[in-house]
A and B are shown apart, each in its own frame.
Chain A
Amino acid sequence: MSLSRLAFLATLALSSVSMFTLPAAAQVTVKMWSIDGDNGLYTKLAEDFNASQSEVVIESRLLAFDDLVNEALKAFATGQAPDIISLDNPDFALFSSRGAMLDITERVANSDVIDTSVYYEGPLASAMWDGKLYGLPKATNTIALFYNKDLFAKAGITEPPQTWDELLEDARKLNDPANNVYGITFSARAGEEGTFQFLPWVQMGGGSFKEVNTPGAVKALEIWKTLIDEKLASQDVLSQGQWDSTGTFNAGNAAMAISGPWELGRMAADAKFDWGVALLPTETEGGPRSSAMGDFNLGIFANSQHPDEAFKVIEYFASQSDRLFPEFSNIPPRSDVPLPATGDARTDAALKVFQEQLQYAQPRGPHPEWQKISKAIYDAFQAAMTGQMSAKDALDQAQATISGIVG
């Protein structure tokens, strides 16, 4: 503490000296917008970057998640856009596809710091449009299946489910209304979180965001509907987000939960039982795997006055990948950074599974009108799960909407 304060004072002193000797023109200010929260990652890395050199200064602005895209759209429309922005990956194509972001393909290829070959495919693909790279993933995450080992043992199940049918069977065995235990919990909320959870099932069922009414996808939705109809999951999964939904798992009120690595810290502290993580079950034994892919991409706005300096900032963020997990509980978007042990055996085992699941994680989109595609998808599974339409009809309707968007 005293050391870093000393270093800070020293930097302050040095910079004031350099201000005397050199004209301040040497310093370039780069504006960066990102979200608040995220364990203080953006603020800390921006401070460290500013302290590490004297040529470029990051002027960081934190926005609420819900405001980020709206503010960015307004700023871009009025020519007030920042130099760098960190956007949730499905929102990135809204900007990159219209030429609002700077093409950094060449810069990355010539960079000594960034080597795209070590990045996971999914996160990288979310920053691409039309074969060009417009940004770099800041971190990544995905979802997998959490299961309560104690309840599994009690129900006489030895292994986590491998296929959808096994998942349904296990949920039936684990379901215990007398003790307030549901078989499974997940999030089928009417929003991006719901799509985030359902799209992997569509992809495992042979579909994609452009093709959501494949027989496999219909089967997936029928299983989701069965979970609700047979009360194997609370009907409130239709309105709960992942955080609340997994909270019921932690409290022992659900035997399985579908969620992501952001839960690990809370689960290690809250869950009074033994738990494990397994890959998402596939449609058939050994069938194609898939999972969702979350987290943010850093990009440079095309009309930035300081693209070179902004790119240095992106390089700096990439160079700090090894700090992401220990300091900010973010999973690096690349396979060459080992995750250090946390001291909690369950968490360490879970992280290994999540890293394997990441190999199959697919981006949502990228598509400039992703939000409308996403709404078509969550409207469909909600309509089917509430019994307003059959799974097939609901997905056919979603497909009609999506076909109208993707052409």
Chain B
Amino acid sequence: MSRFFNSLRDGVGFDLVLVGAALLFLLALAGLPLLYNVLMSFQQVDMFTLGTLIRPWAGFTNYVDVVRQPEFWLVARNTLIFVFASMAGQFVIGFSLALFFAQKFPGAATIRGLFLVSWVMPGLVVGAIWSWILAGDFGVLNTILKSLGIIQETVFWKSDPNYSIWAVVIANIWLGTAFNMLLLAVGLAAIPRDLYEAAELDGANAFQRFWTITLPMMRSTIGAVLSLGLIGTLQQFDLFPAITEGGPANTSSVAGYWSWQMSFQLYDFAKGATISVMMFLLVLFASVIYVRSTRHEVRG
């Protein structure tokens, strides 16, 4: 018996307790809600069965119904545009800024720190600000573009079906760039200086150094940043109600917002759950990449 307690304090038992606590935490706060959500997507849910676990079985009816909604393919297309355009924008701008601030010049670290302002701001506030900037008739962006002569006619960023999804993408890029920059800057700082010095001695130019040293050394960081970006973008919600509300005509609605709308505006909780299960498969894909890239990091 005392050996059991001893091992709890110092030994295999202690390890098991630690692992167990973490697993229990994960199971209770992530696993169970997830299973509940999957279960709900196969059930009929209404206000009388909302609080119960056993509900009429619906099979794949919810899934078929969701795919048959007239807006399904539009939302799927928007989700892809939103995710990939946001990630590309955040990553390219974030990486450029990280490289820029990696150069030694006075105030580099301070200014880089200031960029974080965009990341600490709540999404709803960012959404409200961009909503004003992107307003059609009296928006700042239109005024600037017009005075620069780039556009002649007013562009209704939030109300034109050709631009509405891009309005949210622009705001999301602004919101997420700093986060990308920060993680990538950390990765850049970790690359040993002597590698560059050696390459320079061998006559490698700036592009070659970037291509053969920076990128390969940043592989795991980039993998992590991109998968975190994918998860973060799929989770993005605040910007949608603040800027376009998914309109006009669902042209800026994405899966996450649609799922919320189903559950909390149309009170069709089963379909809301169904959409989030579909989304979960996408996030799962990203998580696998993330876990793989961080595993690589630990070994290296």
Contacts and interface: CB of A to CB of B under 8 A. Distances in A.
Interface of A: 66, 69-70, 73-74, 76-79, 94-95, 98, 100, 180, 189-191, 234-239, 248, 253, 371-372, 375, 379, 382-383, 385-388, 397, 401
A397 B265 CA distance: 21
Nearest to B164: A239
A76 B47 contact: yes
Interface string B139-176: 00000000000000010101111000000000000000
Nearest to B52: A77
Contacts of A100: 47
Interface in B254-280: 264-268
Given A190-B245, A190-B246, A379-B70, A239 B158 contact: yes
Contacts of B48: 77, 98
Contacts of A76: 47, 50
Nearest to B250: A379
Contact of A94 (B49, B248, B267): B267
Interface string B30-74: 000000000000000011111110000000000000000011000
Given A78-B51, A238-B158, A379-B250, 13 more contacts: A73-B50, A77-B51, A78-B50, A94-B47, A94-B267, A100-B47, A180-B137, A190-B248, A235-B159, A236-B137, A239-B248, A379-B71, A386-B248
Nearest to A75: B51
B187 interface: no
B268 to A, nearest CB: 7
Contacts of A401: 70
B70 A372 contact: no
Given A73-B47, A189-B247, A191-B245, A397 B158 contact: no
B70 A236 contact: no
Most buried by A among B154, B158, B249: B249
Nearest to A386: B161
Contacts of A372: 266, 268
Nearest to A180: B137
Contacts of A248: 137
B180 interface: no
B47 A386 contact: no
Contacts of B159: 235-239, 386
A142 B137 CA distance: 28
B71 A371 contact: no
B245 A98 contact: no
B177 to A, nearest CB: 25
Given A77-B47, A98-B48, A379-B70, A236 B246 contact: no
B244 interface: yes
B244 A239 contact: yes
Measured as residues with beta carbon below 8 angstroms from the partner, the interface class of chain B is 20 to 34
A98 B266 contact: no
B249 A382 contact: yes
Contacts of B220: none
B225 interface: no
Nearest to B241: A66
Contacts of A235: 136, 154, 156, 159-160
Contact of B248 (A79, A234, A375, A385): A385
A76 B51 CA distance: 9
Contacts of A379: 70-71, 249-250
A383 B266 CA distance: 19
A69 B267 CA distance: 9
17 contacts: A66-B264, A70-B267, A73-B47, A73-B50, A74-B51, A76-B50, A79-B51, A98-B48, A100-B47, A234-B137, A235-B156, A237-B159, A239-B158, A239-B248, A375-B265, A382-B249, A388-B249
B224 interface: no
A94 B265 CA distance: 12
Nearest to A376: B70
A331 B137 CA distance: 33
A98 B50 CA distance: 13
Nearest to A70: B264
Nearest to B268: A372
Most buried by A among B46, B156, B248, B250: B248
B251 interface: yes
Contacts of B70: 379, 397, 401
A38 to B, nearest CB: 21
B97 interface: no
A382 B158 contact: no
B245 A386 contact: no
A386 B160 contact: yes
Contacts of A66: 264
Contacts of A253: 137
Most buried by B among A235, A387, A401: A235
A74 B159 CA distance: 34
A386 B267 contact: no
B266 A371 contact: yes
B135 interface: yes
Interface string B110-150: 00000000000000000000000001110000000000000
B158 A236 contact: yes
A234 B154 CA distance: 10
Contacts of A94: 47, 267
Contacts of A388: 161, 249, 251
Most buried by B among A74, A383, A387: A383
A136 to B, nearest CB: 22
B51 A239 contact: no
B141 to A, nearest CB: 13
B267 A371 contact: yes
Contacts of B266: 371-372, 375
B75 to A, nearest CB: 12
